[in-house]
Structure 1
């Protein structure tokens, strides 16, 4: 387990309204890069016309796709942004709601926004770092760098 305690410092909050037809993952990554964000938490609500979630298969060391081929509500989207060799590394999980009230969740691989996705990116005061874990092949949170 990696545990990081951060002291309260000046924190920027970036609010992004992702528009119809845009890919949520691409839009959030681009906003993080534009604002030079290297350590943040991400929350969002909204809707998708379609999406692809993933379940990480430990044996295969890869995400098994969970296609979502209908309009859904983004009931909860949570994650973080960390630095991966100078680039923002986004890690998001989503719970999506179907018309009948059932839900599906997983790692967000792709989400075609409809009608909007309201994203709040809150800096945590330092750059979080991610490095590839050789056992899993995933970029995992490893610690912090200076402010």
Structure 2
């Protein structure tokens, strides 16, 4: 992945350009931690050669995995970055378009880029904190 700082100051904006073979979720998490991101949002378009989506099943408090083993267009990818303890955590949702025009979406657990993914990430001057929610079993943003 290549990146460029587009604007700095209270609200930094980055362009992140993923290349073929890059893994999205871990790379985003690494970037967020290396840049000490504490409250950011991002959006992206591009394509994947494969992906693993998740559907959160509240009854089992875990994600049911949805494999996508084909070339797909990233029609919409949105997400945020917040702190969980001292670590930056990314939360990504995606809608993918198949060759026949059908769409599939969910929580992005992992994905391999092909040929590119273009991400615009905006950082906030503040921070967001996540805490474990016992009812759902998820790390959720809390606003105190």
Give the Cα–Cα distance (whole angstroms) in 2 for the partners of residues 24 and 119 of structure 1: 10
Report how far residue 121 of structure 1 moved: 1.2
CA drift at 1:143:
2.2
Alpha-carbon distance, 1:124 to partner: 2.1
Would the aligned equivalents of 1:18 and 1:27 in 2 still touch at CA under 8 Å? no
Task: Write out the 4+ residue segments of structure 1 that deviate beyond 2 Å after TM superposition.
Answer: none
TM-score, with length taken from structure 1: 0.89
Which secondary structure state, in structure 2, belongs to the residue aligned with residue 42 of structure 1?
strand
Match of 2:78 in 1: 78
Q: Deviations over 1:21-60 (max 9, x none)?
A: 1110011111111211110001111110000100000000
1:5 corresponds in structure 2 to none
Q: Which deviates the most, 115-124 or 45-54?
A: 115-124
Q: Look up the match of 1:69.
A: 69
Question: What is the rounded CA distance, in whole Å, between the counterparts of 1:125 and 1:72 in structure 2?
Answer: 35
Contact map agreement 2:22 2:113 (CA 8 A) in 1? yes
Q: TM-score, normalised by structure 2?
A: 0.91
Partner of 1:6: none
Q: CA RMSD in A?
A: 1.2
Q: Which aligned pairs between 1:1-147 and structure 2 lie closer than 5 A?
A: 10-143=10-143
Q: Contact conserved, 2:32 with 2:89, CA < 8 A, in 1? A: no
How many residues end up aligned between the 2 structures?
136
Structure 1 residue runs without a partner (length 5+): 1-8
1 CA distance for matches of 2:119 and 2:36? 16
Task: Give structure 2 stretches of 5+ with no counterpart.
Answer: 1-8
What is aligned with 2:4?
none
